Structure 1
Amino acid sequence: MAATQQRPATAPVLTAIRPAGDRAILVELSSLDAVLSLQAQLMAHPRPGQIDVIAAAGTVLITADSPHALQELAEHVRGLDLDAPAEADSTLVTIEVVYDGDDLDEAAALTGLGREGVVAAHTGQLWTAAFAGFAPGFAYLTGENSTLDVPRRRSPRTAVPAGAVALGGQYSAIYPRQSPGGWQLIGRTDAALWDLERENPALIRPGDTVRFAAVRAQATVRRHTETAASAEAHEEHASAGLAVRKPGLQATIQDLGRPGYAALGVSSSGAMDRGALRRANRLVGNPEDAAGIETLFGGLELEALTDQVLAVTGASAPLEVTSSNDAQTTAAVRHPACDAPFALLAGERLTVGAPTAGLRCYLAVRGGVAGPAALGSRSTDTMSGIGPEPLTAGTILPVHAAKPGSIVGNPEISPLPDQGHATVLRVVPGPRQDWFNAETLKSFLSQEWTVTPKSNRIGLRLDGQGLTRSKEGELASEGTVRGAVQVPPEGQPVLFLSDHPVTGGYPVIAVVVHADLDKAAQLPPGATVRFTAASPADQPDTPKESFHA
């Protein structure tokens, strides 16, 4: 009897599912087609608890609102047919480009095509927006051929102008706003890549096709500014409530952020210490997601234009209320407590002093701070520039009327890290712990890290005994999450926080569990941190290193 001929096994499309903290998974796939198929299926038919789907060259990062939802998402992904082509709405976008970029000659030499050949190759093929990232409106475009595959610059520019058309590796892209960047600049355009006045703010969305057209006219970048009429339309149900007399070091409007837009390159942003903002809102009778003020190191001074009810939570800071009809004389002074509601009557001023513990204070006003929303949130995103500008002296803050039946809350306890000892943050290893050997992983978990003054809303920069990678080369950019501990080549970790970039190219050794992120928001420069592996109960119910298909 003849032996049965066996067909060669095909390589699996889904190669691994790796935990990325307790609220996200990183799905590794064998091709860009599979990446786009998974992204398209999840975006077309979102699962319960699904928040963001971030596609990259060979991975898809999926975030959920709970560990249970994450487990169900992982099981759902395993059952999908990822050989099926992506079915998504696609629009042809034509971009007019003046080809006079600073790196056009370099690209011409690297490809051997000459200047005219680079332009011909760039305009002569159709490009597809594979995925977004880096910044709102920034789309990674893949071409029909590899003739323009050029390396990134050896030394990135500190500022690439808005509208710059660039090449990087196998991709082309357009910088929507001025930002650092290491791609080869070949031209410029005045196309508005990101405009919040449009129904879809991003001009180029994943799945769209792009054709570049060479023009000789002078290109200028148009910047969107909100008109007075559109701003006033947002304020019709609010009245002037507070005036900023002194903003302190950094005061911004924050709510619980704008999740769900990471696929467009927009991070969720929002309050760094979300628990503190929720408490402040409960104390004054607001919904927990109402907008308030986040202030750093105190120094904020506000004057009530009409009678208000306020609460301050987060860092432990002295509060002082002065009543004066004259700038030179003070009629009365009182000192409200943090974590309890208090009245600020018209003409009175509140000063938030320097914290004695913690770093960031949160001020809620009964009714909530009003103002125009961007993508459903009033949060200031310091990285992308979305949302209101940081507060300055003279800023007038409109306040919504309190909802009928809302009740002012009772005082609450505000837990803060003990700055006399290292703050312990629980982490889920990975998703890229395989870029480090066992000794490096042990060093990461055993030592104390110091928060440096370079920290901000994007992340905590930590200093300690540097971590050494066990792999050569660079990791392709992939989605990142709040709480990710990324390790640059220098070996000093960065813990991503509210305004972190949507994608990153450095390996993530571990991710802080969701419940511990508010602690990180209250760590001042000089504070120390120790990471510890989360218990099995705090980790997602998926294999702890990776699931291999």
Structure 2
Amino acid sequence: MIETAGDTLAGQQAEVHKVGSVRAVGTRAMLAELSGTQDVLALQALLLEHPLPGQEDVLAAAETVLVKADSPASARRIATLLLQLDLTAPVQRDGELVVIDTVYDGEDLAEVGKLTGLGTEGVIAAHSGQIWTVAFAGFAPGFGYMVGENQALEVPRRASPRTAVPAGAVALAGNYSAVYPRSSPGGWQLIGHTGAKMWDLDREQPALASPGHRVQFRAVRDSVTLAEEPAAVPSESHDVASGLRIVSPGMQSLIQDLGRHGHSALGVSAAGALDRASLRRANRLVGNAPSAAAIETVAGGLRVQAVRDQVLAVAGAPSELSIESPSDVDSEPVRRTVPMATPFALLDGETLSIGEPESGFRSYLAVRGGVDAMPVLGSRSTDTMSGLGPAPLAAGQLFASGGEAESGVVGDPELQPDFPGTGVTVLDVVPGPRADWFDAEALASFTGQDWDVKPQSNRVGMRLDGTPLQRSRTGELPSEGTVAGALQIPPEGLPVLFLADHPITGGYPVIAVVVDTQLDLAAQVPIGGKIRFRWAPAETTAPATTEHITPERKASN
């Protein structure tokens, strides 16, 4: 039996400490199911202290721990090893004690007093009189789910979530407490506020309280200054000797590299280029390192001007690339075109324009040396959900070319793959960890229809339209770790395909996961395009381990 996240730590300590079951999440991640918060903390601590072979990242949630692997083969080995781990004597991590000064003046303080029967003063005493432990990260960088030493403050979420909870709000929901690091919608019960900065990129460890830390809320009566809203790193705009000037950013142009991996415990997703192969190709053509920062742009319209002579290449969605030379007083501008996936010179003062794609959706502009933007947590990529990294590009901005060139020569022109148009794109998927929330009819409908890509799609997720899928199981799923490529099914029954900027945890069942090798293809499906999902051959999937039911097995039961 799986206990709820509200079970007390003391009650769970009497249980046998083993991983209950393991489910595959795509081809390179495994989801370990556990009996409660104590076992989640124990497994997380064990994996951080003694990583398994091939382990890349660990993400704890309410009743699960997600383990990401460096390959499908490693994922299969990790699945077996997880079931063998003994959590009876968990690794003890001496988490740092973080003291957070709190003014208990929240809008819901009186209501929480009624719900718990403690009254206002009793709530303050109960909240500040115990040590909280950060169990796992939440929906935003710096948001940590903290579990207390007892259940005295277990309260439901508000029936009607607020559209904006201020940064620094101290809140309760279920058996958890948390501090909102930035203004965002939320349904937690607000009991106070703090001036502590829960997320600060100027610190060596940006999160004030990360998983494993212990937290003491200290009641203060004097007013404290509200925490400042974290902001995206401003894009470079100062004068540079050599680089690119943005004449027009088009619909949306962002700086992207291969992403910031390994920070799930901080609530930070990987972000990075959605079409990784096209980014690597563009960098290869100009002689850059594969992970050099480039410009990702959608649907054409990007125009850039060279500051001194530059070597560029554009890969991804095939588009017309036109170059306009500056004109003299007595002459017309000189225009020429250059091919895709080929290095070319953009001379000082010349302007490159990327036209509307003939197919596909995203193009990648690489400059020799890479785009020299400020790195955040080891990456220059823009995370549109969390606000990390450079802000979206704007007209007039100037970027220096950096030092990411690793070859003395540029590359030869390359052939590109076919890119999807407005027709049907077939994507291979493997069963999701919650495929058993759907019956055979729903699973058949999932792969038996064409799904339309809605205009509301973005880098967080592609929203799909079609015949809604019905769950065969009622109730709510506790939030659990997820991956790019996951297909969540909200109550309305329409899938959302997570992309690189997705939240690291989700509370809707994942019916399937796009295989990692086809995420680049998925990212190129344009708005208005169609997607059909197809179950991948069994040999390409990670193992369906204990309590995981594949669609084929479920249909035959």
> Same fold by TM-score, threshold 0.5 exceeded?
yes
65-74 or 253-262: bigger deviation: 65-74
More moved, 43-52 vs 245-254? 43-52
Report the 3-state secondary structure (helix = DSSP H, G, I; strand = E; otherwise coil) of the residue aligned with 1:515: helix
Q: 1:523 aligns with which of 503, 509, 525?
A: 525
Task: Say whether the 8 Å CA contact 2:166–2:184 is kept in structure 1.
Answer: yes
Determine which of 103, 112, 118 is the counterpart of 2:108: 103
Match of 1:213 among 214, 218, 234: 218
What amino acid sits opposite 2:370 in the alignment? G
Matches within 5 A, 1:356-367: 356-367=358-369
Contact 2:167 2:228 in 1 (8 A): no
The residue identity in structure 2 corresponding to 1:205 is S
Between the two proteins, the alignment pairs up a number of residues equal to 535
1:114 to partner: Cα distance: 1.9
- Partners of 1:402 and 1:195 in 2: CA distance: 27
CA contact (8 A) 2:55 2:68 kept: yes
Tell me the residue number matched to 1:336: 338
Shift of 1:10: 7.3
How many Å apart are 1:467 and its aligned residue?
1.0
Residue among 129, 141, 144 paired with 2:134: 129
Q: Secondary structure at the match of 1:358?
A: coil
Please say if residues 33 and 85 of structure 1, whose CA atoms lie closer than 8 Å, have aligned partners that are also in contact. Answer: no
Q: Which residue of 2 aligns with 1:470?
A: 472
Q: 1:455 to 1:328 in 2, by over 3 A?
A: farther
Deviations 1:313-334 (A, max 9, x none): 1111111100014699742101
User: Secondary structure of the equivalent of 2:82?
Assistant: helix
What corresponds to 1:4 in structure 2?
none
| Structure 2 gap ranges (5+) | 1-13, 550-557
TM superposition shift of 1:542? 4.5
Shift of 1:546: 2.6
1:458 aligns with 2:464: no
Quote the offset at 1:204 in angstroms: 0.2
Shift of 1:543: 3.5
Equivalent-residue separation in structure 1 for 2:345 and 2:308 (angstroms): 11
Aligned AA (2:457): S
Q: Shift in Å at residue 312 of structure 1?
A: 0.7
| Structure 1 counterpart SS, 2:361 | strand
Deviation at 1:224, TM superposition (A): 6.0
State the percentage of identical aligned residues. Answer: 56
The one-letter code of the counterpart of 2:130 is Q
In structure 2, the CA distance between the partners of 1:155 and 1:327, relative to structure 1 (3 Å rule), is farther
Q: In the alignment, is the contact (CA less than 8 A) between 1:383 and 1:499 conserved in 2?
A: yes
- Please, which moves more after superposition, 322-331 or 294-303? 322-331
2: CA distance between counterparts of 1:21 and 1:227? 32
3-state SS of 2:297 partner? strand
Aligned to 1:180: 185
Deviations 1:31-85 (A, max 9, x none): 2222112111211222343221000121001111211121222232223212222
2:265 corresponds to: 263
Pairs within 5 Å for 1:241-280? 241-280=243-282
Cα distance in 2 for residues equivalent to 1:404 and 1:503: 37
* 1:158 alignment partner, one of 133, 154, 163: 163
Alpha-carbon separation, structure 1, partners of 2:102 and 2:52: 40
- Aligned-residue RMSD, C-alpha: 2.3
Question: Which SS does the other structure have where 1:14 is aligned?
Answer: coil
Residue identity opposite 1:510 in structure 2: A
Report the Cα offset of residue 521 of structure 1: 0.7
The one-letter amino acid paired with 2:301 is G
1:349: Cα distance to partner?
0.3
Give the conservation status (yes or no) of the 8 Å contact 2:18–2:86. no
Code of the aligned partner of 1:94: V
Q: Structure 2 CA distance, aligned partners of 1:493 and 1:369?
A: 35
Greater shift after overlay, 40-49 or 391-400?
A: 40-49
- TM-score normalised by L of structure 1: 0.93
Contact 2:274 2:523 in 1 (8 A): yes
Matched, 1:88 2:90: no
Partners of 1:445 and 1:371 in 2: how far apart? 42
Tell me the distance in 2 between the aligned counterparts of 1:433 and 1:222.
41
1: distance between equivalents of 2:411 and 2:249? 27
SS of the counterpart of 1:61? strand
Checking the alignment, whether the CA contact within 8 Å between 2:241 and 2:308 is kept in structure 1 is: no
Greater displacement, 327-336 / 506-515: 327-336
For the Cα contact (< 8 Å) 1:429–1:545, is it kept in 2? no
CA drift at 1:21: 0.3
Q: In structure 2, do the counterparts of structure 1 residues 376 and 239 end up closer, same or farther at CA, with 3 Å as the change threshold?
A: farther
User: Are positions 1:293 and 2:295 aligned together?
Assistant: yes
Which of 540, 545, 548 aligns to 1:546? It is 548
CA shift digits 1:273-294 (9 cap, x unpaired): 1111011011111111110000
What does residue range 96-495 of structure 1 map to in structure 2 within 5 Å? 96-219=101-224, 220-223=226-229, 239-325=241-327, 330-401=332-403, 403=405, 405-495=407-497
| Residue among 533, 536, 543 paired with 1:534 | 536
Shift of residue 86 of structure 1?
3.3
Find the aligned partners of 1:270 and 1:334 in 2 and give their Cα distance: 32
Contact 1:325 1:347 in 2 (8 A): no
Report the CA distance shift for 1:147/1:11 in structure 2 as closer, same or farther (over 3 A): same
- Counterpart CA distance in 2 for 1:73 and 1:211 is 35
In structure 2, give the amino acid aligned to 1:369.
V
Whether the aligned pair in 2 keeps the contact of 1:430 and 1:545 (CA below 8 Å) is no
Contact 1:431 1:545 in 2 (8 A): no
1:23 corresponds in structure 2 to 28
Distance 2:282 2:546 in 1: 37
Q: Relative to structure 1, is the Cα distance of residues 173 and 495 closer, same or farther in structure 2, using a 3 angstrom cutoff?
A: same
The Cα of 1:109 is off from its aligned counterpart by: 2.1
The Cα shift of 1:509 comes to: 0.6
Q: Secondary structure at the match of 1:518?
A: helix
Instruction: Determine the C-alpha separation between the residues in 2 that align with 1:471 and 1:502.
Output: 24
Q: 2:52 aligns with which of 33, 47, 50?
A: 47
Distance of aligned partners of 1:166 and 1:224 in 2 relative to their CA distance in 1, 3 Å threshold? closer
